[in-house]
Structure 1
């Protein structure tokens, strides 16, 4: 077993033995409520009460109280005809309120639109928060007849997506592999990276050139390039706060063409970094 995996395994074992380590003690009811919200977000046809009880593996009384609490706070509603539970748009509204306050979308939209028009491809922006990276914006070029669905796959599989790879390439090998192992190494296609060694080598190359490539590793027929947005928050060391990606059908852009687009994305990422909001309306520039 490579040393990096052994150290990560030992660290995870130690954390679990200390009440989840640095995360501190957690409240079971809150965890379960969040599990319900996350499950409902992925349930196109909602969930039955039985589905929720099975998900939580608790008795019906506890599940009923949790659901009623979420309904009372208007995060969940029950369809009276089918009896199934659905997520409301309140959760989405919270995210939009946060984005509005940060001014991120307002300030980044023109840069992303310019990049989409220049490349003719799908441009996306993902934001880093702690140990997660989340899509927040997608812009499609208007000139293409064949376009990718901007909402294909909401989850950023770190070692498969160009966005995830670009982010991982900005951190230490130990932390990067720790995050990858936390989410699992399950491949999505025959081209997916399957070993720690292969992932580390790929991240090393990505760090050296300043961008990451994912070519049919997450979805067959789709290639993507990702560039980290780096800012100095504290001290001299730059920190990755987000990632710009460009995705295109392989029939239109091969790996070489993706790499050839790197200068445009690097320029866009640098421009975004200069206007990235601190949180109170100011920027890092």
Structure 2
């Protein structure tokens, strides 16, 4: 990763994946940065409050400053105020995890959730992560609103998710992905089973106003022993209705307005 900014962002992203912390030598070696340069960058990040050492000469960890920035951004964007009551209502109706993801350029990021399962098996992944477009129900819900060519271009930028990393049914070819997308368009929402996580099923609908690009996705996810295909089909009209209601209210959020601009275009040659 070349350049000071690239190296700095690389350090932040690598530390985010290792919340227990990492020593300077591991960070430098993992990111292929000279140790002297890594030390300078870490000192700068520590000075500005983004990282700290667990002890003198010890491992480096992220502070909560980045989290605070992200939460502050979401709070001021109005997304949570608009979406949370609707997410809570859908979670109660479905009894499963409900998540809202927002489109930002060519990525889809989970920003809010509500848990409807009160007992038994619960599925509750971390917020703030990007949805894999090729194998998540949320990714399929966005891609179904695009042409096949646009959808495949976005997946090509991100790459296909492997079955070893995600689920045994994750699409790994263009034909398999298009089969999912064509079925999703026909029913009005996506439906997946063990494509994103073992033992899990999910469904998702795009959040978009008529004639406009999608601005996000609304999903329901849970263990496939409860969230069967029959149950997902029965929940489909409710999911679509809440997604449409969220789309109608989205004009009050600057983040949703920005998402309506559509996917990022690749730079011209």
The interval holding the TM-score normalised by the smaller chain is 0.7 to 0.9
Which residue of 2 is the match for residue 251 of structure 1? Answer: 225
Runs of 4+ with >4 A deviation: none
Go from structure 1 to structure 2 and tell me whether the alpha carbon gap of 1:241 and 1:65 turns closer, same or farther (over 3 Å shift): same
CA RMSD of aligned residues (A): 2.4
Give distance in 2, aligned partners of 1:31 and 1:74. 19
1:157-199, CA deviations, whole angstroms, 9 ceiling, x for partnerless residues? 1111111111111123223212222332222232111211111
- The alignment partner of 1:261 has SS state of helix
Q: Unaligned regions of 5+ residues in structure 2, if any?
A: 261-269
Q: Unaligned regions of 5+ residues in structure 1, if any?
A: 1-25
Which residue of 1 is the match for residue 19 of structure 2? Answer: 44
Q: Are 2:240 and 1:266 aligned?
A: yes
- The alignment partner of 2:151 has SS state of helix
Aligned with 1:194 (options 144, 164, 172) = 172
Task: Within 5 Å, give how 1:104-115 maps onto structure 2.
Answer: 104-115=79-90
Which residue of 2 is the match for residue 11 of structure 1? Answer: none
Which residue of 2 is the match for residue 217 of structure 1? Answer: 195
1:123-148, CA deviations, whole angstroms, 9 ceiling, x for partnerless residues? 11111100111111121115443322
CA contact (8 A) 1:116 1:122 kept: yes
Which residue of 2 is the match for residue 96 of structure 1? Answer: 71
Q: Using structure 1 for the length normalisation, give the TM-score.
A: 0.82
Give distance in 2, aligned partners of 1:278 and 1:184. 30
Structure with the larger RCO, 1 or 2 (CA within 8 Å, 6+ apart): 2
Go from structure 1 to structure 2 and tell me whether the alpha carbon gap of 1:143 and 1:49 turns closer, same or farther (over 3 Å shift): closer
CA contact (8 A) 2:109 2:128 kept: no
Go from structure 1 to structure 2 and tell me whether the alpha carbon gap of 1:280 and 1:48 turns closer, same or farther (over 3 Å shift): closer
Q: What is the CA distance between 1:101 and its match in structure 2?
A: 0.9
Q: Are 2:170 and 1:180 aligned?
A: no
Give distance in 1, aligned partners of 2:209 and 2:2. 34
Aligned with 2:122 (options 135, 147, 151) = 147
Give distance in 1, aligned partners of 2:256 and 2:150. 31
Q: Using structure 2 for the length normalisation, give the TM-score.
A: 0.87
Aligned with 1:205 (options 183, 189, 193) = 183
CA contact (8 A) 1:122 1:139 kept: yes
